[in-house]
Structure 1
Amino acid sequence: MCLCRVLFVFLILYDIFGWSAATETWRPMHLYVDGNARKHRAVGDGGLRFEPAPYNKKLELNGVGKIHCKVAGGVAPAVQWFMNDADALPEGVSTANGTLLIAEAKRDHAGQYTCRATEGETTISAKITLDVVVSPRVLEPTAGQQVHVRVGEDVTLNCRAIGDPSPTIHWDRNSTILSTQNDDVQLEGGANETTARIMVWNNGTLQIRNVTEDDAYHYGCTAGSIAGLSRAELELVVHNGNYFPPQESGGVAGKAVLVSISVAGAYMLLVLALMVYCRRRRLQRRQRGEKLELEMVEGREKLVEEGEKKIQNGGPHNGRLLPNERDSGADNSEVSLMSRASKKSGQYEHLSVPKSLITEQITLGRGEFGEVMLAKIDLLQVKKLRNKDEGETEPQILPILVKALTTKDECQLSEFRRQLDLFSRVRHDNMSRLIGLCNESEPHYMLLEHTDWGDLKTFLIATRTVEENEEYTARVGQSHALPQSQNTIPPLGNLHRVVLAQQLAGALNKIAAKRLTHRDVSARNCLITSQLQLKLSFPALTRGPNSHEYHKLHDQVIPLRWLPQETVMEGDYSTKSDVYMFAATIWEIYTKAELPFAKLNDNSVLERIKSGTLDWTVPGSMPDKLAGLLKRCWNKSPTDRPHFIDLFNEITSIIDEMKMDSISQHSNDIEEDK
């Protein structure tokens, strides 16, 4: 009897602590309780702490947001949010499971918030600042504004814009951006600030000294930030002599306003009608889908019941899986295998970023792996997680591109790893940075740097005038008609376009130096900043707004119109195929993002690629030397195409020649004036 009692006590202790035969030591086990299904942490888990610490956040006015407050350590700490130190939360702000929820951001929601975690006598607190931001809007100049000035006088043109964060302001003259690359233009702080005839001040003011008749142009002010773009235009009228025309009566302006209001009203009615129609269609589809799903569920239940009856009667179940035999597929999926393998090897551990840091996600479309989203992240929190605290305290909110991995196809998984390797190994000023990888749970997220002005293709389309859009549609067909941007952006100048070509060549040269390839070089996969700097990225929206630019061939979705023959026919990707695509992208820059070979359908393009009869036409606005480079890039033989280092050097020489010609022309103009 005594022996039985000793054995019983031994079994209980074994269940609680466990025995490790390999080390011959007792090891403590985790204990679980029911309650709220919360795990008791093991002894030694440490005191209460935030993982990660809550961080400052900016919300668009009337937007929706969440701020997480996650606590580690202890057993079951209570987490509460307060306004300031201990005030009640304002109306419209609530909490759930430690998360601060803002249903509709208002001005009075901005301020300081405190997250406080308490367990027993231990309390920790973290304070964050919530800001409510506003999209940029130009207040001055106003639409249709005219400024009159006499020859020889000085004039000041003001550009006032509001927004949070403060927008970046650019002036353009007759649709050409004003910068130091233009003649007699100087920015504040420049070497020739006191002598320059045209000055662009940091506060958004454009000053023209000693006005001439040649200064009579349309001047535009563009304000841009991560929240969007806004532009307004004025006309500078220069008069020779003392004559100033009388102010126009308000009749014409009143009619213009009335017409604008009428058009806007009709547009709103059309939008409302479309919304009602789409909502009704969605409801009908949902009802049909629920009915079909119900029928499928009833059918499955019937099959299971029949299978159980046959098994109870000793008969076979005809290979059908009963509920306890079904494989969920989650643990055995390729994605799960990749997750376990990567965590085991630690290959991507240094890139790991928690999904809780990602905010304000907006779906752009679907790529080759899954959804592609635009979001924001606080770079300061990422640095802290990687123990790179540089003493900074202010949040560094950065726009990011999020590429989700939801596919189970091995080829697509390999491509996901290839892109991850590309952006982790190549660092360049004209390439998007790899911010991190969210791989703690499925789906995995690849996080790439985005820019405040978005992708290059959208920017180029926005620089088209109404007349250019109509001409393009008439030339290639109504099916290629593109919506005209509400805020037309001035086109890039000749020097700006060549500089973009140089920046793209520099990024691709860096990739080639690492013996890697991009494989989808195009305007849609490039970004543009408010400083007109190009960055090579990889959204690859194969299903979404850019789906018509991709073609499915041999179970692969490829950018058919951008690829050379050896890649389309043999799947041979190389640095020389990237050179071919580089030339196609420069062609897009000079045609304002026209679709290559727009008059041909995909099958016709494919047939001409096979026969070797697909030939590119160089735009007439392109410098002759750059046109010659592009023709070499489009050579049918890959070995005859130039290297990226040669392209970069030759384009740099073209830029230097253009600058010298500009200086020489400016000097000649001065001599003629004398």
Structure 2
Amino acid sequence: MSYSRRDPILNEYSLGGTTLNRVKSVRDLGVRFDSKLKFNDHIIDIFTAHISAHKIGRHGSSRKHRAVNDGALRFEPEPYNKKLELNSAGKIHCKVAGGVAPTVQWFLNESSPLPSGVTSLNGTLLVTSAEHRHAGRYTCRATDGNTTIHSTISLDVVVTPRILEPESGEQVHAWVGQPVILHCRATGDPQPTTHWDRNLTILHQQEGVETEGSANASNARMLVLNNGTLVIRSAREEDSDRYGCTAGSAAGLARHDLQLIVHPEGEVIPSSESSGVASKAVVISISVAGAYMLLVLALMVYCRRRRLRRRRRGEKMELEMVEGREKLVEGEEEKKPNGGPVQNGRLLPHEKDSGPDNSEVSGVSRISKKSGQYDHLSVPRSLLTEQIPLGRGEFGEVLVAKIDISQVKKLRAKEDGDLEPKLRPVLVKVLTTKDEVQLADFRRQLDMFSRVRHANVARLLGLCNEQGSPHCMLLEYTDWGDLKSFLTATRTPEETAEYQARVGQAHAAVAGAAGAAGGRAMPPLEPQHRLLLASHLASAASALAAHRITHRDIASRNCVVTSSLRLKLSCPALSRAPLSHEYYKLHDQVIPLRWLPAEVVMEGEYSTKSDVYSFAATIWEIYTKAELPFAKLNDNSVLERLKGGNLEWNIPSSMPEKLAALLKRCWSHSPTDRPQFTEILEEVNALLQETTSDTTKHNNTEEKDTGTPTPMVFFN
């Protein structure tokens, strides 16, 4: 891939024969990279994560530095604002670099003494037990001879939200046509905001639900009041469901859920005030008998419909999803002696499942009606051409192939006639394993890519499910391949030689059959290019978080990049060859050890905050041109340091200070200290805009001084 300067007067440059005007704004930057690129509005969570308390120390003398002048006196990093839970302990660091022997002191406001209960030790502000009177602005002052620098931060004392009503697990009974009032009340400091959800979907975003003050509030059957109360003016049987009350503020989140059961008119409602063993036994017996009859009827109807579908249409694959649990269903079912439902790499339905995922029978009967929602994604494997193996993952082989999109559209539209061929690269993940854990992860990834439609998330293009063949998941792929190979291609020969000499040949080689842009060398990335990639990744991760989905393996190897420099989050997950050295087997689980925080490695607790940690590691890869994190350490050393809490990330010199400070927060040991993706996206976009503006001003200045436009290279 080469580029040449075309017209110095017009200040245009080309890459691969395509001419681009010099960018003058963030919006122009997006247009140049991709004419369809837009900075879409993202769903902003109304809650932000609270910051937990830290250990405390004792007041001591100012911190000492080595007596060597290593540059101007400066903060590394700049102290940032802090929130502490009421009556908890915490500390705020103020680290100084440069100078000869600087002294560091903390003051209340600008020069007032620290209040009782707050001390300073070696530049660290210590709070023994946070009280409301400790809240305020604190200044860190560093002095070295005649040089003085200072930084002011805000300390807030907060109270974690606590829900007063409803009680967790509460059951509310009502008759059809009866009004129902559900209260959602919480306390905290600052006062938390509350909202209702139904089956983990925000209630006021659902059809037929209005909020107080809206145009249709007076006629709405379901109304959410501003004080957090949910009013159902006339209950219906379909209103029976699980409702959740969530309260959140800058201090954290709290959630209680309840079960609303709407009974037909005349049916006996269990009363909490009933007394006597006999009356309670009668109520319980009637309820159990009624539930059993409903279950039997639902199963009879379901089995009959399934048999009729078999007779009419033959063998067919269906995908059922019940509260996050999906089932791949076939016609001719075979069972293992132990009841395991696997045949030819496919999942078959359990006739009986006593697990927790099937506890809501009413949910099964409702969702079963939608079991064919993935039929439109069925694609014959014969349409896949030019298949190139990339490696192997936990599910099976991973390939890159091409598919004729026009033929796919023709099949789905059930139209005749010839269409002009339109080949498109796809990532093929083949499912050949019979391991239940890996099958569940395959279902999870299938759900993730089918639910999230976003410009920076790879799309699910289809499923191959022919009889006798393993299942295949077809994901969107790009012309320049994976981000890791692309970043490696931007290295100069000198950088490659230096990296190999530093970490050894084994880790320096980057595998990838497709490579970036066909394996060709790429021009170096400019600062705004790297920030654009970071913005795309933050946008993709924020979209997943908005759907309450965790990726669990965010890394450069699992991202793809287009020739217009658009990043898309995918998941090839080549946990075996050729990237097996980037994964580690722990407790029969293969995990990306170097990209995961301690709570995942030690306890298996995946969350949006663990994805934040992995996101920061991927941004680190972008600025180090795809170096292996902690390349000088073996896996056991990384594991031990992670357990001990002393695994330190080094910051690349090319990374902006504001971005470095953000990544350090993302790598915090406590998940609650890590920022939300909405906050990350906002900060990265602001930094991108600032960098682009500075570049434009710098180039305009050079043009005035020299009379010649300054070259700027952008990708086609």
TM-score for the superposition, normalised by structure 2: 0.48
Tell me, in whole angstroms, the C-alpha distance in 1 between the residues paired with 2:506 and 2:697.
46
In the alignment, structure 1 residue 427 sits paired with structure 2 residue 435:
no
Q: 1:616-673 deviations in whole A, cap 9, x for unaligned? A: 1111101111111111111111011111111111111111111221222233334434
In the alignment, structure 1 residue 355 sits paired with structure 2 residue 411:
no
Q: 1:396-422 deviations in whole A, cap 9, x for unaligned? A: 211001101111111111000000000
The partner residue of 1:371 within 375, 397, 407 is 397
Q: Which residue of 2 aligns with 1:634?
A: 667
Unmatched segments (≥5 aa) in structure 1 = 1-136, 142-146, 160-167, 172-177, 191-326
SS in 2 for 1:598: coil
Tell me, in whole angstroms, the C-alpha distance in 2 between the residues paired with 1:428 and 1:421.
14
Tell me, in whole angstroms, the C-alpha distance in 1 between the residues paired with 2:389 and 2:556.
20
The partner residue of 2:690 within 648, 653, 657 is 657
Q: Which amino acid aligns with 2:498?
A: E
Distance 1:336 1:153, change over 3 A: closer
The Cα of 1:470 is off from its aligned counterpart by: 1.0
In the alignment, structure 1 residue 593 sits paired with structure 2 residue 636:
no
Larger Rg: 1
In the alignment, structure 1 residue 458 sits paired with structure 2 residue 300:
no
Residues 190-589 of structure 1: matches in 2 within 5 Å?
334-335=342-343, 338-341=346-349, 345-346=371-372, 348-387=374-413, 393-441=419-467, 442-482=469-509, 487-589=520-622
The Cα of 1:514 is off from its aligned counterpart by: 0.4
Distance 1:179 1:562, change over 3 A: farther
Q: Which amino acid aligns with 1:459?
A: F
Q: Is the 8 A contact 1:335 1:407 kept in 2?
A: no
Tell me, in whole angstroms, the C-alpha distance in 2 between the residues paired with 1:530 and 1:577.
30
SS in 1 for 2:691: helix
Q: Is the 8 A contact 1:334 1:409 kept in 2?
A: no
The partner residue of 2:652 within 619, 627, 643 is 619
The Cα of 1:480 is off from its aligned counterpart by: 2.4
Tell me, in whole angstroms, the C-alpha distance in 2 between the residues paired with 1:596 and 1:158.
35
Residues 110-189 of structure 1: matches in 2 within 5 Å?
169=17, 180-181=22-23
Q: Which amino acid aligns with 1:590?
A: Y
Q: Which residue of 2 aligns with 1:38?
A: none
Q: Is the 8 A contact 1:380 1:392 kept in 2?
A: no
TM-score for the superposition, normalised by structure 1: 0.51
SS in 2 for 1:386: helix
Tell me, in whole angstroms, the C-alpha distance in 1 between the residues paired with 2:490 and 2:524.
5
Tell me, in whole angstroms, the C-alpha distance in 1 between the residues paired with 2:12 and 2:688.
32
Tell me, in whole angstroms, the C-alpha distance in 1 between the residues paired with 2:392 and 2:416.
37
Distance 1:460 1:337, change over 3 A: closer
The Cα of 1:340 is off from its aligned counterpart by: 4.2
Q: Which amino acid aligns with 1:334?
A: V
Q: How many residues align?
A: 378
SS in 1 for 2:629: coil
The Cα of 1:361 is off from its aligned counterpart by: 1.3
SS in 1 for 2:413: coil
Q: Which amino acid aligns with 1:475?
A: R
Q: Which amino acid aligns with 1:656?
A: Q
Tell me, in whole angstroms, the C-alpha distance in 2 between the residues paired with 1:553 and 1:608.
15
Distance 1:385 1:412, change over 3 A: same
SS in 1 for 2:391: strand
Q: Is the 8 A contact 2:400 2:425 kept in 1?
A: yes
Q: Is the 8 A contact 1:339 1:439 kept in 2?
A: no
* Two-structure CA RMSD over aligned residues (Å): 3.7
- Give 1 or 2: higher helix fraction: 1
Tell me, in whole angstroms, the C-alpha distance in 2 between the residues paired with 1:351 and 1:519.
25
Q: Which amino acid aligns with 1:497?
A: R
Q: Is the 8 A contact 2:345 2:471 kept in 1?
A: no
Q: 1:102-159 deviations in whole A, cap 9, x for unaligned? A: xxxxxxxxxxxxxxxxxxxxxxxxxxxxxxxxxxx98x99xxxxx9x9x999999998
The Cα of 1:338 is off from its aligned counterpart by: 4.7
Q: 1:63-103 deviations in whole A, cap 9, x for unaligned? A: xxxxxxxxxxxxxxxxxxxxxxxxxxxxxxxxxxxxxxxxx
Q: Which amino acid aligns with 1:480?
A: H
SS in 1 for 2:406: helix
Tell me, in whole angstroms, the C-alpha distance in 1 between the residues paired with 2:336 and 2:503.
50
Q: Which amino acid aligns with 2:590?
A: V
Distance 1:154 1:412, change over 3 A: closer
SS in 2 for 1:505: helix
Q: 1:361-408 deviations in whole A, cap 9, x for unaligned? A: 111111010011111111112122222869993222110011011111
Q: Is the 8 A contact 1:372 1:539 kept in 2?
A: yes
Tell me, in whole angstroms, the C-alpha distance in 2 between the residues paired with 1:557 and 1:169.
44
Distance 1:152 1:545, change over 3 A: closer
Q: Which amino acid aligns with 1:519?
A: R
Tell me, in whole angstroms, the C-alpha distance in 2 between the residues paired with 1:333 and 1:478.
44
Q: Which amino acid aligns with 1:634?
A: W
Q: Which amino acid aligns with 1:488?
A: A
Q: 1:224-252 deviations in whole A, cap 9, x for unaligned? A: xxxxxxxxxxxxxxxxxxxxxxxxxxxxx
**Using CA pairs below 8 Å that are at least 6 residues apart, which structure has the higher relative contact order?**
2
The Cα of 1:180 is off from its aligned counterpart by: 2.7
Unmatched segments (≥5 aa) in structure 2 = 33-334, 351-367, 708-716
Tell me, in whole angstroms, the C-alpha distance in 2 between the residues paired with 1:340 and 1:350.
20
